[in-house]
């Protein structure tokens, strides 16, 4: 496809459908779905895929109580690929400061739990920028 952004949305939607994240339970969809227009399905499944990615990230790093998926989406909306531009208002610094006090109990990833505080702080900052770059790239 010429439109790489739309192609990425289709791939995200297909992944969400394949991993049975979409359609959500109780949505009324029954397979096989007969569609007149697939745009709505692609958008909905893409959103489910992004929400799951944000949730998995927040759970891994133990920041579920600090920032919502919607908050992450808003934070990343202004990001430009390869730039360290997310902390202009101190939001990343605040997230890291709050997260570093309870990550050993809130993070579900054992490797993250076992990090010393300074490595956790640096690792979380790097992981946030990697995720933001991945989203900006697509």
Which of the residue ranges 8-17, 18-27, 49-58 would you say has the lowest mean pLDDT?
Answer: 18-27
CB contact set of 26 (below 8 Å; sequence gap of 6+): none
Q: What is the largest CA-CA distance in the chain?
A: 54
Q: What's the pLDDT tens digit per position in 29-56?
A: 666 666 666 777 777 777 777 788 899 9
- Residue 1 in this model has a pLDDT that exceeds 60: no
Sign of CA dihedral 16, 18, 24, 29: positive
Model pTM score: 0.74
- Residue 117 in this model has a pLDDT that exceeds 90: yes
Q: Is 124 exposed, middle or buried (CB count within 10 Å of its CB: 0-12, 13-18, 19+)?
A: buried
Instruction: Give the pLDDT score at 31.
Output: 64
**Residues, the chain:** 138
Binning the chain into helix, strand and coil, the percentages to the nearest 5 are 60, 0, 40
Token code pair at residue 126: 């790097």
| Helices and strands of the chain, counted as H and E runs | 7, 0
Q: What's the pLDDT tens digit per position in 46-98?
A: 777 778 889 999 999 999 999 998 888 888 888 888 788 877 778 899 999 99
- Beta-strand ranges (E) seen in the chain are none
């Amino acid at each position: 496809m010429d439109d790489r952004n739309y192609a990425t949305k289709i791939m995200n939607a297909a992944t969400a459908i394949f991993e049975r994240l979409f359609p959500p339970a109780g949505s009324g969809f029954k397979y096989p779905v007969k569609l007149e227009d697939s745009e709505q399905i692609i958008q909905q499944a893409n959103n489910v895929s992004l929400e799951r990615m944000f949730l998995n990230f927040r759970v891994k790093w133990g920041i579920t109580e600090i920032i919502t998926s919607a908050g992450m989406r808003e934070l990343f909306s202004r990001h430009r690929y390869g730039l360290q531009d997310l902390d202009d208002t101190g939001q990343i610094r605040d997230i890291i400061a709050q997260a570093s006090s309870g990550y050993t109990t809130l993070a579900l990833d054992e490797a993250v739990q076992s990090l010393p505080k300074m490595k956790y702080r640096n690792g979380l900052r790097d992981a946030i920028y990697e995720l933001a770059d991945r989203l900006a790239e697509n």
